[in-house]
Amino acid sequence: MQNFENFLLRNLPVSKSIHPTYEEALHKMLIAGGKRFRPALLLGVVKSYNTLMLDGAMHAAYAIELLHTYSLIHDDLPAMDDSPLRRGKVTLHVAYDEVTAILVGDALNTYSFEVLSDAPFSDYTRVQLIRELSSNGGLNGMVLGQAIDCYFENKPLSIEDVKILHTNKTAKLIAASLKMGAIIVGKEELGEKLYNFGIKLGLLFQIQDDILDVTQSSEEAGKLTNNDEDKNSFVTLLGLDETMKEANALADELTTELSNFDENLKNELSPLLTKYINRHK
C-alpha cells in the first residue's frame, strides 16, 4: 500500500484560507495512518484484472478513504461516542475544538466526491462510482447505521436488528469498496458477487471490533476501548464466548467463499483478507 500512501500525501486537501489551523486539521487524521483496508480492497480487485488501471484507481481508493475518515471524525464527537483517541492520535475535537472537527468531517465528506469526479475514467464509470460511494456511505448506508446506533443506545435490540445496524454502519462501505474495484475494470457481474461477499466481510469486521473492544487496551487498538457497554454490540448482547463462535462461523464461511474466487482475484486478495478474517483469533 506504499503507492497509495504516496498518492494520499501528494493529494492532501488544500484550502485557500486565512484560518490558522483548518488545513492542518484537514490533514491530521488522514496522515495518522489507519488500516487503509477499504482502499486496499478496491486496489486489490483492480490489480487482479488490469494493472494498467491502478494509477487511475488510486483516485477512487482515496475517495473511499476520505469518506471513511470523515465518518471516524464524526463518530468520535461528543454527541456520538465522545472518544479522545483515534488511529493512535488525539481526536480532532480534543486537539482543536468540536466545531473544527464537525467542519473538517464535512469537508472530507464532500471532497471525496470531488476527487472521484476528477478520476481518469469515462463519464459512465465515474457516475457509477459516485452512485456506489454515495448510496453506501449516505442516507441508506453508513449514516443510517450511525443514526440507528445512536438512537438505540441504552435500548437493547434483537441480534437480527443489530446485524441490520452494522450492515449499514460498517459493512456497506466495505462491500462498496470491492464493488467499485469491479466497476473500474468493467466486471459488473463480479461486482454484485463481491458486494455480497463484502457485506458478510463487513459484518465480521464489526463483530471482531466488538471482540477487540473488550480484549485489547486503548493503546493496542489505537482508539478508546471498553466503551460499548451502552451500545448494541455483539458482546453486550451475546457475551464474549458466543460472539467468538459467531465470528468463527462467519470467518469459516468467508474463507470458503474466498477459496472459490478465480485464481487472480484469490491470489491478490488472500494475503489481505486472511489476515483480517482471522484478526479476532
Structural Rg of the chain based on CA atoms: 18
Where the chain has pLDDT below 70, the residues are 219-229
Measured CA angle at 178 (ends 123, 256), to 5 deg: 150
Domain ranges of the chain: 2-277
Q: Which residue has the cell 457497554?
A: 229
Beta bridge pairs of residue 85: 90
Q: What angle do CA 51, 142, 40 make, to 5 degrees?
A: 20
pLDDT digits (tens, 9 = 90+) for 248-257: 999 999 999 9
CATH code of the domain made up of 2-277: 1.10.600.10
In Å, what is the CA distance from 36 to each residue of 94, 161, 179, 193?
23, 28, 16, 22
- Contact yes or no for 263/227 (Cβ under 8 A): no
Q: Which grid cell is 218? A: 486503548
Question: Which amino acid type is present at position 172?
Answer: K
Cross-strand pairs, 89: 86
Which pLDDT belongs to residue 231? 79
What 3 state SS string does the chain have? CHHHHHHHHHCCCCCCCCCCCHHHHHHHCCCCCCCCHHHHHHHHHHHHHCHHHHHHHHHHHHHHHHHHHHHHHHHCCCCCCCCCEECCEECHHHHCCHHHHHHHHHHHHHHHHHHHHCCCCCHHHHHHHHHHHHHHHCCCCHHHHHHHHHHCCCCCCCHHHHHHHHHHHHHHHHHHHHHHHHHHCCCHHHHHHHHHHHHHHHHHHHHHHHHHHHHCCHHHHCCCCCCCCCCCCHHHHHCHHHHHHHHHHHHHHHHHHHHCCCHHHHHHHHHHHHHHHCCCC
Please report the pLDDT score of residue 280 as a whole number.
87
